[in-house]
Structure 1
């Protein structure tokens, strides 16, 4: 079979899967939505199978699409590495990135290292802050790209969904006794929406609370919880580090799910910003 797949079409396919949206993929790649749709249709015709399926308003892969995605990620990585080797980047500029610590800093820093290797003339600045602070700085034009969290379903129109996870009440042990009068909260600080959520849910359950410790880092907060100094709201990806879901609070004050989101200032085309976003989405898709 004399079948050749277009690198550009595979790039479009990857972007649609990573963003879950034809329109967001088109915006990210600076293509029209009809061009994105046509490239996907052309791939499906070539491979004689359906690659995408809509679920909950977002596009995901079919079984065959998942197979193609695995190959596409490898092909695009190899292609882009080869181009970077033989054609050193002349891209210059400044990229200001904000990330909340609830999203893996290891993954983000690995992408930044790879991006800086390919584009050494770009001045990159990384800020780690709470989601609300990141959104405010983005709105003020201080940051170009942010990776932030918000309650599931609250994403802004331009946000790309990375993943959704559940929040949990955590303590040193699953059966840690609740204090007779006041729940001691361990929080990330006054700017963290986890704290406002905790206060709201405890209030609804008729339970008194006070803040026993504020710590802006995930590691510090988990250390305090594991030591039995109080209870905290923890996202699913940070479970298992010496803390346990608290069965009683989970029942008395159930917590919602949260979305991890990518927001980019895409009012004007910017090869620095767009190149980083594509690299980041590809890395997080594999994570």
Structure 2
């Protein structure tokens, strides 16, 4: 029987969601401006209330139990609804302008959701969003045309101004009914000459002694997936961008192994800015690392 007298704290659910997203109580505590002991206590209190374990402890990161994964779905909806309600009835007086650049490969749907939530909370802050390849975003940020960028680079190449959000794998992807590549010229699908995935593909294929040619250049994830799924060629996609319309290509991954890629947050100006700092704080607690 359901215990109708049970009340789950929104603050505790916020803590749980942040711990689940970061996989680390210390990092969650930093993001939420709490002590690690306070974070740990709130998690334990939730587990006592619900009568189940929510986290698997003992590994390098904290993984969710089945019950924890279920609670996370509810926690995300509850916390977001709570914050939207608060924003409606107590709009912020914060003013300013934010120019945000995002590489689509990072987590565009989630970034847009965060921007929408931020706009509800701070309606007098004007937010502009630019979607472009990482190399162009870095140039715009260096030139003072963007305040915040979410971009990618190879693992280990982050600049001092970058904050690491997560690392993920890159994969060679092929159509579901793809044939073996032996003796064939590789038809390459890429995001275009300005994307570092394209340069990586060329370097890896050349190093493996494989003939290749560019079959299609497309600046969007949807276009890449459509072209690969249709059998026009193979391409490099990050873990976040994969779906079940394409398959990983183990033959190419063996011949031309790929490095990890880092998703990074960069702020153009280190001087304090209330709107920018509030957005960054919301962003890093809301983004989900790819599974």
Q: TM-score, normalised by structure 1?
A: 0.73
Confirm or deny that 1:164 pairs with 2:168. yes
Aligned CA RMSD, in angstroms, stands at 3.9
Distance 2:223 2:119 in 1: 29
Task: Tell me how far apart the structure 2 counterparts of residues 176 and 201 of structure 1 sit (CA, whole Å).
Answer: 18
The within-5 A match list for 1:9-28 is: 9-22=12-25, 24-28=27-31
Check 1:253–1:11 CA distance in 2 against 1; reply closer, same or farther (3 A cut): same
Single out whichever of 77-86 and 230-239 deviates more from structure 2. 230-239
Query: Which residue of 1 is the match for residue 102 of structure 2?
Result: 99
Deviation at 1:258, TM superposition (A): 3.6
Asked whether 1:184 is paired with 2:187, we answer: yes
Structure 1 unmatched ranges of 5 or more: none
Q: Which residue is 2:39 aligned to? A: 40
The change in CA–CA distance for 1:159 and 1:55 in structure 2 (over 3 A counts) is farther
**Deviation larger for 206-215 or 54-63:** 54-63
Look up the SS of the partner of 1:102 in the other structure.
helix
Aligned to 2:146: 143
Contact 1:12/1:36 (8 A) holds in 2: no
1:80 pairs, out of 75, 80, 83, with 83
- Name the counterpart of 1:270: 274
Contact kept, 8 Å, 1:10 with 1:72, in 2: the verdict is: yes
Q: 1:215 aligns with which of 214, 218, 222?
A: 218
How far apart are 1:220 and its partner, in Å? 3.5
* Distance in 2 (alpha carbons) for counterparts of 1:69 and 1:164: 22
Aligned counterpart, 1:90: 93
Contiguous gaps of at least 5 residues in structure 2: none
Provide the residue aligned with 1:282 in structure 2.
286
Aligned residues: 279
Q: 1:39 to 1:66 in 2, by over 3 A?
A: farther
